[in-house]
């Protein structure tokens, strides 16, 4: 039998979240920072450090996802406009 421990952390930020990134010129390590406040005033900070190769992969995947989202939204808007013109 194999036993594996798994942990999951899910974070959802609003539009007011402060973000920052930093790439070290020496180590190539990339830092991603998220800083927000909860409704009760509690401060919440997350710092994620990854190797630069991982940061590049994240950036590429995010850009692809954003491009796909934008194309989908444009198609929906075009279909809605065409449907409105037919009525």
Contact 58, 41 (CB under 8 A): no
What are the strands, taking DSSP E only, across 8-70? 18-23, 30-37, 43-50
The CA radius of gyration of the chain, in Å to the nearest whole number, is: 20
Domain boundaries along the sequence of the chain: 18-86
- Give the phi and the psi of residue 45 in degrees, each rounded to 5: -125, 140
The side-by-side arrangement of strands in the sheet containing 18-23 is 18-23, 30-37, 43-50
Residue pLDDT, tens place only, 10-32: 888 888 999 999 999 999 899 99
Average pLDDT, the chain: 93
pLDDT of residue 22: 96
């Amino acid at each position: 039998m194999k036993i594996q421990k798994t942990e999951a952390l899910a974070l959802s930020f609003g539009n007011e979240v402060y973000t920052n990134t930093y790439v070290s010129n020496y180590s190539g390590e990339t830092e991603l920072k998220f800083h927000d406040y909860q409704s009760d005033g509690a401060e919440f900070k997350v710092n994620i450090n990854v190797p630069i190769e991982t940061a590049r992969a994240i950036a590429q995947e995010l850009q692809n996802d954003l491009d796909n989202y934008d194309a989908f939204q444009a198609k929906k808007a075009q279909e809605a406009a065409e449907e409105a013109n037919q009525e």
